[in-house]
Chains A and B, each alone.
Chain A
Amino acid sequence: MVIPVLIGMTLIVFFILRLIPGNPAQLILGQRATKESLEALTSQLGLDQPWYIQYFSYMKGLFTGDIGTSIRTGAPISQEIWPFFIATIELSVVALLIAIVIGMNAGVISAWFQNSWFDYTAMVIALVGISMPIFWLGLMDQWFFSIDLGWLPSTGRENVRDPVTPITNFYLIDTLIQGDFSQLNVVVKHLILPACALGTISMAIIARITRSSMLEVMRSDYIRTAQAKGMRMFWVVYKHGLKNALIPVLTVIGMQMGILLGGAVLTETIFGWPGIGRYIYEAINFRDYPVIQTGILIVAAFFVLINLVVDLLYAAIDPRIKYH
């Protein structure tokens, strides 16, 4: 299933450029472009060839690592995109971790103390969380925690006067490898606001699904048996309850990666985070179509692969699920 979907994605992304009404080269260069520059760009983009030849050479490029050249910077996209992509992954993973830790625990405690004040408060917050525009939350966070209180930096990923020396481009890992804890502190401070803003919707969704899944599991006979044996309620809930309630939660967590990668476009724009979302957004403003195509394809392909990993994880968590 994964391979046909990936091929289908390349087709859709490939046609983004070809479906634009008029000559894309003219659109990129503007109305004042000379005939020579138009012809040169048309030929560079391969637009003078039949579409199937264009698609074939596009696919050949994808397999050989040649994913095009940015019109804005003139640099190969394969070199340019990597640090942006890693920056987005770092932000999304931290956002997801925050969402899982807080969301799952809120869901478990809500189910454990069903109809208590904690349950009502947590579920109202979750409802507000899924209904809130992520970019608005980001702006409010920025205003309150950066401008008003001055606790956290409002934009960027690092201190521009003392930049991190990239090794893996995961700045949390890079600063740890270098043993530079003052820079680690700066990197963490830059991460908190965008990661919290990005993780809020996922946190709310995870809290809601964990609660409903736990409520179902907590009515099972084996939970009653564990309680009857005199096991401490904490272990009954977390060991017997949560483990069996995990499959729907895991499905939702897998889906969150897509929401996070999509939401990254908005969060990165607000917080000036140099990730792939901002890279695509800036490319849109400059009509840098090769970058838009490749950026969208990379994010979407990554999302498909994450879902594949989640599918494989089911079997590890639930031995009743087997893949042949």
Chain B
Amino acid sequence: MQEILNTQQFQQVKEVQEVHSPWLDLWRRFRKNKLAVVGLGIISFFVIVAIIAPLLAPEGINEQKLADRLQSPSADHWLGTDDFGRDILSRILYGTRISLWIGTFSVLGSIIVGSILGIVAGYYGRWVDTIISRLFDILLAFPSILLAIAIVTILGPSLSNALIAIAIINIPSFGRLIRSKVLSVKQEEYIMAAKSIGMGDFRILFHHVLPNSMAPVIVQGTLAIATSILEAAALGFLGLGAEAPNPEWGKMLSDSRQFITQAPWTMVSPGIAIMLVVIGFNLLGDGLRDALDPRMKH
């Protein structure tokens, strides 16, 4: 009898835990937003495409057939061919990898550096805060693409340097966000409790302050991936990002420019690919913002 009671109690406790699990709660609120689910669907589609690109692509990315150059879309080449006779669909599929890679890793870099600077500024305050905050102000005062151009000019044009440039221009927005969260979190009682039991600054910062400041960073990060992909494409378009023969979408658009009268289809699909993936991240970011907003809970 006692055993049955215990099992029932255990079940009840488990159910209560499940109902109040923050992740489950977040997912429930997130899936109510149909557009956000569409965004998640788009991103999942592109991630799968990026992973299995070699299986999906009808041809290799650099398989040149000069006899087939600038072919319009057909049964053999669904999206046509470029000026080297390369299959545009195959290049778009492989290009997914580059765009997702550059978007994700540049934002991860910005989050890591921005978080460290934001935490240090917010937690220590005084002159450290003044210096870091002024640096953020100065970086934010530049139009972002111009700053990216300036950084790539210093480092030299390449895909990895474009990634670094995009990561640098996004640091201040994450830094500021984390700083403001740290300023509010450090007043909480549990931080004072942690201090009073003799916990060191480093442990407090990384075990208590950072995890409690992460919700807005996740939202901002998702939206920043969208802008990073656009910025990477813009740098590629200006010849400051990916080098040939990388199938980066911005570079593909730049290459197709000279055939605008002869073969306008060469510039349609890379643009649509960029737009779709950016729409996906924008919808996902908006959905996460609504789902993580405590005011939207009830």
Of the residues B134, B142, B267, contact of A136 by C-beta under 8 Å: B267
State in angstroms the CA–CA spacing of A266 and B141 once bound together. Answer: 19
State in angstroms the CA–CA spacing of A130 and B285 once bound together. Answer: 13
Closest Cβ of chain B to A317, distance in Å, is 23
B144 at the interface (CB under 8 A from A): yes
Closest Cβ of chain B to A230, distance in Å, is 35
Q: Which of B180-207 contact A (CB under 8 A)?
A: none
A261 at the interface (CB under 8 A from B): yes
Say yes or no: B146 contacts A8, CB within 8 Å: no
Mask for A123-135, Cβ within 8 A of B = 1, else 0?
Answer: 0000110111111
Of the residues A140, A263, A269, contact of B238 by C-beta under 8 Å: A269
Say yes or no: A133 contacts B141, CB within 8 Å: no
B278 at the interface (CB under 8 A from A): yes
Say yes or no: B146 contacts A300, CB within 8 Å: yes
What residue of chain A has the Cβ atom nearest to residue B154's Cβ? Answer: A19
State in angstroms the CA–CA spacing of A134 and B261 once bound together. Answer: 20
A300-B143 CB under 8 A given contacts A4-B134, A133-B230: yes
Q: Which of B136-182 contact A (CB under 8 A)?
A: 137-139, 141-147, 149-150, 153-154
Quick check: which of A9-17, A63-71, A170-178, A185-193 contacts chain B, the rest being far away? A9-17
B49 at the interface (CB under 8 A from A): no
Say yes or no: A139 contacts B253, CB within 8 Å: yes
A9-B141 CB under 8 A given contacts A136-B274, A142-B260: yes
A262 at the interface (CB under 8 A from B): yes
State in angstroms the CA–CA spacing of A300 and B150 once bound together. Answer: 12
Closest Cβ of chain A to B142, distance in Å, is 5
Q: Which residues of B lie under 8 Å from residue A279 when comparing CB positions?
A: none
Residues of B whose CB lies within 8 Å of any CB of A are 134-135, 137-139, 141-147, 149-150, 153-154, 226, 230, 233-234, 237-240, 250, 253, 257, 260-261, 264, 267-268, 270-271, 274-275, 278-279, 282-283
A-B pairs, 6 with minimum CB distance: A262-B143, A136-B271, A8-B138, A131-B278, A262-B145, A131-B279
Not counting A133-B230, A143-B260, A270-B257, a sample of 8 additional A-B residue pairs whose C-beta atoms are within 8 angstroms of each other reads: A13-B150, A134-B234, A136-B270, A259-B143, A263-B145, A265-B149, A284-B240, A303-B143
